[in-house]
Structures are given as C-alpha cells and as structure tokens.
Structure 1
Amino acid sequence: MKSRLTGKLYTSTAICAALALSLSLGAQQTMAAGSETNAQAQAQAQTPAAKSSIETTGSISAANHAEAGKEARNLIDESLASVGQMRQDEGFREVLSRAKGIYIVPEYGKGAAIIGGEGGAGVVLVKQDGEWSDPAFYNFGGVSLGAQAGGEAGAMAFLLMSDDAVNAFKSGNKITLDADAGFTIVNWSGDAEASWGKADVVTWSDTEGLFGGASVGVTDINWDDDSNMAVYGAGTDMTAILEGEAETDEADELKAALPG
C-alpha cells in the first residue's frame, strides 16, 4: 500500500512539475510574442512620422541651400553692376584703385526706413598684391549717422582704405565702421577729392542726397553663414575667403571689374 501511494505521489508531483514548466514556458513565449508585436506596432506607428520628419527636414535644408546660393549669385551680379556705376566717375576710379578692400551693398534701405531701419546684404573683397579676393558675404543692420530720411533705396559702397578697416572684417561679427569705433569716414563727392587721402573708409552711393552731407557709418555687420556656405561649402571661414584661400568661378567678372 505504501509503495503504491508513494508512486502516486511521485507521479502527481511529476505531472504538476511538468504542468508548471509548460505554463511557465508558455507565458514566456506569450510575453516575448507580445513584446515583439508591440515593438512592431511601435515601429509601424513611428517610422512613417520619423521618415516624414527626416525627409521634410532634408528637403527644407536643401531648399534653403539652393535659395541661398541663388541669392548669393544675384548679389554678385548686382555688385558688378554697382562697380560699373562707380567706374563712370573718373575721380572715383582713382580712389577705387587705391582701396585695400571694398564692401558693396547693391541695394540698401526702403524709403523712410533708411535711418537705423532696414539694412542690406553685401559682399566684401580684399586686395593683396594687386589681386582681389573672392567675395565674402555680410549683412548689416543699419546706417548709423546722417542718412536722409525718406531717401530712396539705392546702392552703397564702403571703400576700405586702411589695414584697420580691412582687419575689422576679419575680426568676427557685430562689426562697426564709424567714428565711435575709431574710423575716419569720408563721403565721396566730386568736390571732396582732397579729403579722402586720410580716411579709413570712403563711402559712395548712387542715390543723390542719401547721406545728407553727413559722415556715415554702418553698424551690426555680420557674417552671412547661409550665403557663404552655399558658395564655398561648410566650414569655410571669413579669414580664408578674405585672404584668397577660397575661390568661386561665380565672382570672376566682379574681380576683373575692380582695378588692381
């Protein structure tokens, strides 16, 4: 009797253990399957959105890059036209030939907003050993002094006559060219030819009366990251461009138009 009971107990115990093991394995498989299903569901739910976000971001970046390149090329063409206007004045051609650099802003201001208001995009080229660098792109915030209220938008240029004026553009952002920054600014006019010899900066405009006869400076001149990157590629800094270490075929005509 005892032997049969013991055998039954062993059999029951073995059956219970087998059942427990089976249930445990089944639960683990169910949990694993559930986790895999949840992961797949999450991936299916997230992947389209993630792809959409990546594709949208990439598309916007590419579009911005293309637009910046287009604007940069237009700015170079407009700067070339401005240089053509400057060269029509025989007296100014001499000043231009002696300049160590030039900041050309083909279109500045909008109507009455000219004083301390709308700024402009421009290019800076530096001359070394009779050769002009390719253009570096800068924006500025406003004219600091003397612009005539209500004046029309027009082309402006700032001839950099001294090393200090040139080096200001290599120093970084928030550049200021005015008397407060220690620069002597002279406005160009046919009857003021004798005064430009001592100037750090000679200003020029194709809009008569824009400066109202007063000395003019510019404030908040900043490096234009988008345009410079679009033309020269990522990682190109302002010093490399202004020292002739970066080049673009887009500016060949503009450099040729400036006297060496």
Structure 2
Amino acid sequence: MKSRFNRKLAATTALSTALALGLSLGTTQAMATGNETAGQNVNARADVEATGSITSADDADAAMEAQGLIDESVSVVGQMKADEGFQEVLQRAKGIYIVPDYGKGAAIVGGEGGAGVVLVKQSAEWTDPAFYNFGGVSLGAQAGGEAGSMAFLLMTDDAVNAFKSGNKVTLDADAGFTLVNWSADAEASWGKADVVTWSDTEGLFGGASLGVTDINWDDDSNEVVYGAGTDMSAVLAGKVENDNAEKLKNALES
C-alpha cells in the first residue's frame, strides 16, 4: 500500500515537474519571439526614417486630405454658379484652380495654405484634378484681410500652360498675365484676361492689384491619388483618372 502510494507520489511529482518545465520553456520561447518581433518593428521604423518612405498611416491621411479637397471644391463650384452670369464665364474657361479654404485664418500677406485642385478642359470635357499649393497672395490696397474660398479661372492657353511648366509658378503682371476680378458687370474685360479671380469673401479682390505666387505641384497628394511618378502634364492632359472626382467634373460641366 505504502509502495503504491510512493510510486503515485513520485509520478505526480514528475508530472508536475514536467509541466512546470514545459511552461517555463514556453514562456521563454514566447518572450524570445516577442523580443524578436519588437526588434523587427524597431528595425522597420529605422528603415522608414532612413529612407524617408511614406507609411501606410501617412498614405491614408494624404488620401483623406486629397479627397477632402475634391469634395470641398464641389461646394465652391456651387457657390460660384449661384452668382448671376458666372455660368457663362465658366463655359469660356480653359481651366480652373479651386482653393476651397485659403489661409485658414492666416493673414493674406505672408499667409500660407493655398491647397487646391486644377482641372483643364480637354475636348470640351474636364480632366481629373491635379493638386497644387501656393504660398501667397498679393492684394495691393486690399492686403491684410482674410480669405475663405478662392477660384482662378484660366481663360487662355498661356495660363493653363503655366501650371504644366513646373513649380514656383506665378500669376501676376510681372509674369505677363492679366488678372481681373469676377464681376457680373465686367463682362467686357473677360476677353482680355488670362485669369478671372473669384472669392466668396466680399470685397477681397475688389479694385486690388492681384498676384498669386509660389504655385507648386503637391507631390504627396498627386502620388497617393495617381501613383508614384505621375507627371503633372499627364494629369492635366487627361491621361490618368480618379473615379472619386466625378462629382466635381459633373459640377463644372452642368
């Protein structure tokens, strides 16, 4: 009886020892695996920092911002078309640069934040939007105010081609462009203008000597929407597509 008890106790002790050893080994292995994974994550982050690669989170943010600009531009087009007679000048335009929210409260002179989209008319149809930013607006006597939505109707081939020429584009008299402020009473001046300017801020462009400086191709937005290496001329020539821009194109066409 005692012998059977001792054998049972020994077996139980051996089993317990084996279980404890197994758990210990499992824990050690799990810790090693966790440390290895953590090390891989650190290395991956280091690779991103070293190469300057855009992370998936950055990609998603850039895509949301780009789509937000497109959606907001639809509303801006609706505002413009509510102005009596504006439909006519829009139909004559060869392109348009829409900036839904310039400055975001910053002073116009020296202000930043002119993120927007450019669309060009090709064979009576609008291309998909290309993304551009600009650094500042000079408004002469009207400087110092604040702006909301802006749009620049490109009335000539020269004005359109300026956007295809590269970065640091300037639209002002010094660059050889004539800019006029939109007004239902100024139809006679449209035929002489390279650019017709519009804003939802009353009096913003009224009587001012206007210039737009440092217009730049937005690499991040264009890349996330159209793919790496997309050329600005390809977008403005209608050679690439963005299915999420149909509402904006329809708003301009209707």
State whether TM-score is above 0.5.
yes
Letter in 2 for 1:214: A
Give the aligned partner of residue 85 of structure 1.
Answer: 79
Match of 2:26 in 1: none
**For residues 54 and 39 of structure 2, what CA distance do their matches in structure 1 show?**
16
User: Closer, same or farther in 2 for the Cα pair 1:147/1:138, shift >3 Å?
Assistant: farther
**Residue 182 of structure 1 pairs with residue 176 of structure 2:** yes
Q: What is the CA–CA distance in structure 2 between the aligned matches of 1:112 and 1:55, rounded to whole Å? A: 35
- The Cα shift of 1:102 comes to 0.2
Deviation of 1:48 after TM superposition, in Å, equals 5.5
CA gap of 1:134–1:70, structure 2 versus 1, over 3 A, is same
User: Which residue of 165, 170, 184 maps to 1:171?
Assistant: 165
Structure with the greater alpha carbon radius of gyration: 1
Aligned pairs for 1:1-260 (under 5 A) are: 49=39, 51-55=41-45, 57=48, 61-111=55-105, 113-146=107-140, 148-259=142-253
CA offset at residue 110 of structure 1?
4.2
User: Number of matched residues?
Assistant: 216
| RMSD of Structure 2 on Structure 1 (CA) | 2.2
Q: Deviations over 1:144-169 (max 9, x none)?
A: 23373443331000000000000011
Per-residue deviation, 1:91: 1.1
CA change 1:150–1:111 in 2 (3 A) is farther
Structure 1: runs of 5+ lacking an equivalent: 1-44
- Percent identity (aligned): 75
Q: Deviations over 1:91-144 (max 9, x none)?
A: 111000100000000011244611232231000000011010000000000002
* CA 1:110–1:71: 2 relative to 1, 3 Å: closer
Structure 2 CA distance, aligned partners of 1:60 and 1:185?
38
Deviation at 1:197, TM superposition (A): 1.1
Per the normalisation by structure 1, the TM-score is: 0.77
1:27 is matched with none
| 8 A Cα contact 1:147 1:210, kept in partner | no
* TM-score of the two chains, using structure 2 as the length reference: 0.79
Gaps (5+ residues) in structure 2? 1-34
Name the CA distance, whole Å, in 2 between partners of 1:191 and 1:117: 30
Deviations 1:25-74 (A, max 9, x none): xxxxxxxxxxxxxxxxxxxx999656413146399621111100000000
Per the alignment, in what secondary structure is the counterpart of residue 71 of structure 1?
helix
Q: Are the aligned partners of 1:114 and 1:148 in contact in 2 as well (CA < 8 Å)?
A: no
